[in-house]
Structure 1
Amino acid sequence: MLYNLKNIFTALCCSTEETETSSALAYALSLAQEAGARLTVQASAQKLSLPHTRVSSTIGGLVAAENERLAQLAGKLADDARAAAELGGVAVRTEVPLLPHLELVERFVAEARVHDLTVVDAESSALSPDRALIEAALFQSGRPLLIVPEGHPVFRGRRILVAWDGSARVARAVNEALPLLRAAAMVEVLSIIGEKDLSKAVPGAGIAPHLSAHGVTFELKEIAAPDGDAGEALRLHAVASGADLIVMGAYAHSWLRQITFGGVTQSLLRAAPLPLFLSY
């Protein structure tokens, strides 16, 4: 049983195109069933707006019609999510905001802050609208984020891989993931050497007493990063070891006031082989 995981949040974003099936929604439903948790589903759409200059009534009518279509699409997504949750015995709350982009992100962050965990779909590209939600959830919500790549509609957590580098971020990620780690059959604490200097970092063995105190079954392992590419080493090892989930700290740096992800985080987001549990 996944104790202390009581409120899960997921968001579905409607675009001008037909929305594809969300792996995050199916995964969140599955996780909520496993944990006996309550689920909040935000089915949102970005409201189209007109410039303040005068426009023709025809253009105004087209924009209004498109906003109405998006609202209806978001409403259908919410209805479908509610039906799926009720069928699975999951207590669910849905909301359907139709707001300009910045207000939509603010609404998303506000919900993420009052839940134990936020579950979202992996971005389809670095320019995807999902990137704004991923960054906002990580850097502004104060809560962990679980990113689900396509093809993972069911929560599995028997074998969990912790990407350990001794940093404050991964220490926070481990603590926030404890409900999942305690329920896992095996947790592998993996240190990747050869990518950066870890001589002053807390080694994997340093977290062992903490995990033991919380009843986590774990093993420690070190692997080398070929050509210094820790992201690729982690990705390959995760697949080869049969891991169900990766827990790691998220790294970012600011450039011209724009947040961008660090190397390993960027690498995993771009081609995640399995769900990622991230904390910043």
Structure 2
Amino acid sequence: MPKPQTAAPTGLRDILVGLTEEGRGDETASALSVGLSLAGLTGAHLTIQSAARHLTLVAGAGWGFVNDLVVEENRRLSARARAVAERAVTEAALEGVSCSIEVPALAYPELVGRLTARARLADLTVLDAEARELDLDRDLIDGVLFGSGRPLLVVPPGCDAFSARRILVAWDGSAQAARAANDALPFLRAAEAVEIVSVVGEKDLSTAVAGAEFAPHLARHGVNVSVNSVPVQGDAAQTLERQASLFGAEMLVMGAYRHSRLKE
């Protein structure tokens, strides 16, 4: 369990947490816990979108029984989504956090579009990580990453409070890496230690701006920064995961790249 964050990131005024009720019964709530904790730390307003996935009715004669089941399931999912949102409002009030909720019931594509559009109005969106490759939550992550133009914090299972005392910044000199690091400045300034790490050997970085050249920029923003280059072991993701563990990082900052779901 991470220790509570002591230094508060500055500049965050609106935080959005996206939750989705799909009826599986195994939905995680780490994003909500982290969002509440971060809003309490920064004094930001918290918006919770607790959405229910709306199942589509089947057209045609003879499908009445099936449609009755679909209607009942939609009622159940909406009730569960609202219950989650109302519990969150109560928790926010106890923590002294300003909070508003949305409880839409939408079909698959509209649900992704709604969260993506709402994310454009927030300083930061917080979502739960999803291990399954083909899952609505994965599409929500992709939608916010590539469609909102705003930063996204993806929270792994088991996190019950925000903490980012030590942060690893993945750096390859790309526009995506620069944008991610800039978006993360509130967290980088508040961290005790930040390491810029470049993975060497996976792709050609000979013409890229080196991490050592980027570090002074962060230092001028008051970031306690160091630089490291590590040889690739396995692939870049595995190497970064290993380095994050060695550094004791509680947050990994990296740019987002479009890959096919099959390649991922």
Residue of 104, 116, 125 corresponding to 1:97: 104
User: What's the TM-score, normalizing by structure 2?
Assistant: 0.93
Tell me the C-alpha RMSD between the 2 structures. 1.5
Instruction: Answer yes or no: is 1:65 the counterpart of 2:64.
Output: no
Question: Which residue does 2:177 correspond to in 1?
Answer: 170
1:54/1:205 CA distance change after superposition, 3 Å: same
Q: Are residue 161 (structure 1) and residue 136 (structure 2) matched?
A: no
Q: What are structure 2's unaligned runs of at least 5 residues?
A: 1-7
> What amino acid is the match of 1:37?
A
- Residue number among 246, 252, 257 corresponding to 1:240 in the alignment: 246
- 2:208 and 2:137 map into 1 onto residues whose CA distance is 33
Measure, in 2, the Cα distance between the counterparts of 1:251 and 1:261: 14
Q: How many residues align?
A: 257
Distance in 2 of aligned mates of 1:207 and 1:56: 62
Q: Tell me, yes or no, if the aligned pair for 1:252 and 1:260 is still in contact at 8 Å.
A: no
Does the aligned pair in 1 maintain the 2:108–2:136 contact within 8 Å? Answer: no
Displacement of 1:54 after TM fit?
3.0
Instruction: Find the counterpart in structure 2 of residue 79 from structure 1.
Output: 86
2:135 is aligned, of 128, 136, 152, to 128
Aligned partner of residue 243 in structure 1, secondary structure: coil
State the match for 2:4 in structure 1: none
Matches of 2:157 and 2:262 in 1, distance apart? Answer: 21
* TM-score (normalizing by structure 1): 0.88
1:185 aligns with 2:218: no
Query: Which residue matches 2:258?
Result: 252
Superposed, which structure 2 residues align to 1:26-45 within 5 Å? 26-45=33-52
Identity among equivalent pairs (%): 47
Task: Judge conservation of contact 2:28–2:157 (CA < 8 Å) in 1.
Answer: no
Partner residue of 1:272? none
Query: Bigger shift: 120-129 or 13-22?
Result: 13-22
Q: Which runs of 5+ in 1 are unaligned?
A: 254-258, 267-280
Q: Give the 3 Å change call, closer, same or farther, for CA 250–234 of structure 1 in structure 2.
A: same
Cα offsets for 1:126-160 (capped at 9, x unmatched): 01211110110111001111111111221111111
Query: Of the candidates 87, 93, 115, which is equivalent to residue 122 of structure 2?
Result: 115
User: How much has 1:55 moved relative to structure 2?
Assistant: 4.2
Distance 1:132 1:55 in 2: 33
Q: State the one-letter code of the partner of 1:222.
A: S
